[in-house]
Amino acid sequence: MSDEFARDVKKGLSSEPKYLESKYFYDTEGDKLFQEIMGLSEYYLTDCEFEILHQNRDKLLKAFSDAGNPFSLVELGAGDGLKTKLLLRHFHGHSADFTYLPIDISPNVLNVLSYELSRDLPGVQVQPYPGDYFDGLDELNRKDGGRKVILFLGSSIGNFQPDDSLNFLKGLYQRMNRGDQLMIGFDLKKDPHIILRAYNDDSGITARFNLNLLNRINKELDADFNLDNFYHYPIYNPLNGETRSFLISKLAQTVRIGYLDQTFHFHMGEPVSMEISQKFDLTMVDELAGRSGFAVEANFFDSRRFFLDSLWKKP
Ligand SMILES: C[S@@+](CC[C@H](N)C(=O)[O-])C[C@H]1O[C@@H](n2cnc3c(N)ncnc32)[C@H](O)[C@@H]1O
């Protein structure tokens, strides 16, 4: 991992403007902080999607099992599986014939998830894959050509750079067979104050989550970032639905990354782009499905219509 991590950090910090890739947020400390974020009152996304999955668990079982047929339930970026566990428990309780395949780039979070599932739901077959989304899917396709239902929850689809989400969906389409399904969580456009607060909580956990990536670079790439010299700055643009978070350099400073044997200069006030969290409307969702080749089978909303889980099929 270190070589790839180092290469991506070098590329991001040598760019103009500077950026770091949000997939690197998730080391052991990042996993912990993200779990804290999910418990924050400001972070409405988790509660909304939990409500959707809970309210629609029967419909989802019927749709996924396609009249009682076996299926692989693949989850991209499963994290701690907080919401998925409710589906697994329900499906297992109704004797559905399925295997759960969580894919996550963080081996730590996957180990915890696997342990908890073997303890709490020992009857569920679990085959975890630590690594990147497509590597996990390619590995599964080499081993098993059976029917797949892919979950991509938590509005992770919003974390791609503009245009990359469509390319990602096309990549998923290529790795699926006719009749396979894909359910994606989309955070919807809403009151900008509510959205911005979700990325700027009063207790500062989201700030720590962002700053932790500098700490990870310090630890894994022998760097000397002083975390006190940066602050977290999120914005929401209601015109295009983009939330972006930045780390801003408080002063002119030079940071050395030992692993790269290189220094990087930051101006006072210079932003490092950290994460995009795109917010969607139904037109955008339909367009993404259509342009990537999928047919929308059903849309599931929470009671406030803050969030959407959209179920698609490869026709
Ligand atoms: C925002 S969390 C969402 C977790 C969970 N899906 C949810 O809805 O609560 C994103 C998860 O995706 C994982 N992840 C991010 N980029 C990834 C990638 N390129 N390949 C595999 N996993 C990735 C992270 O490690 C993290 O656990």
Average pLDDT over residues 33-46: 97
Give the pLDDT band of residue 283 (cuts 50, 70, 90). very high
Predicted TM-score of the model (pTM) = 0.96
Q: Residue 256: its pLDDT value, please?
A: 98
Average pLDDT value over all residues in the chain = 96
Question: What does the pLDDT read at residue 69?
Answer: 87
Q: What is the mean pLDDT of residues 241-246?
A: 98
Question: Model confidence over 201-233: pLDDT tens digits?
Answer: 999 999 999 999 999 999 999 999 999 999 999
Mean of pLDDT values over 245-263: 98
Every domain of the chain and the residues it spans = 2-41+194-278, 44-191+280-313
Ligand 1 atom nearest 38 alpha carbon: 9
Question: What are the Cα distances from residue 272, in Å, to 214, 225, 233, 269, 275?
Answer: 11, 13, 10, 10, 10
The residue among 75, 18, 86 whose CA lies nearest residue 46 is 86
Residue 297 CB-density burial (10 A; 0-12 exposed, 13-18 middle, 19+ buried) = middle
Section 131-158 average pLDDT? 95
Q: Which atom of ligand 1 is nearest to the CA of 31?
A: 27
The predicted model gives 149-160 an average pLDDT of: 97
Q: In testing the pocket of ligand 1, which one of 105, 140, 151 has its CB within 8 Å of the most ligand atoms? A: 105
Over range 74-93, report the average pLDDT: 96
44-191+280-313 placed in CATH 3.40.50.300: no
Q: 31: pLDDT confidence band, cut at 50, 70 and 90? A: very high
Q: Is the pLDDT of residue 1 over 70?
A: no
DSSP state of 280: B
Per-residue pLDDT, averaged over 234-258, amounts to: 98
Alpha helices by DSSP H, 2-128? 2-14, 28-38, 44-55, 57-65, 84-93, 107-120
pLDDT at 73 over 60: yes
- The rounded distance, in Å, linking the Cα atoms of 98 and 90 is 12
Q: Would you tell me how many other CB atoms lie within 10 Å of the CB of residue 184?
A: 27
Instruction: Kindly state the average pLDDT of the residues 175-204.
Output: 97
User: Given a cut of 80, is residue 67 above it in pLDDT?
Assistant: no
- Ligand 1 pocket, Cβ-based, cut-off 6 angstroms: 23, 26, 34, 77-79, 82, 103-106, 109, 132-133, 153-154, 156
**CA 157 to centroid of ligand 1, rounded, Å:** 10
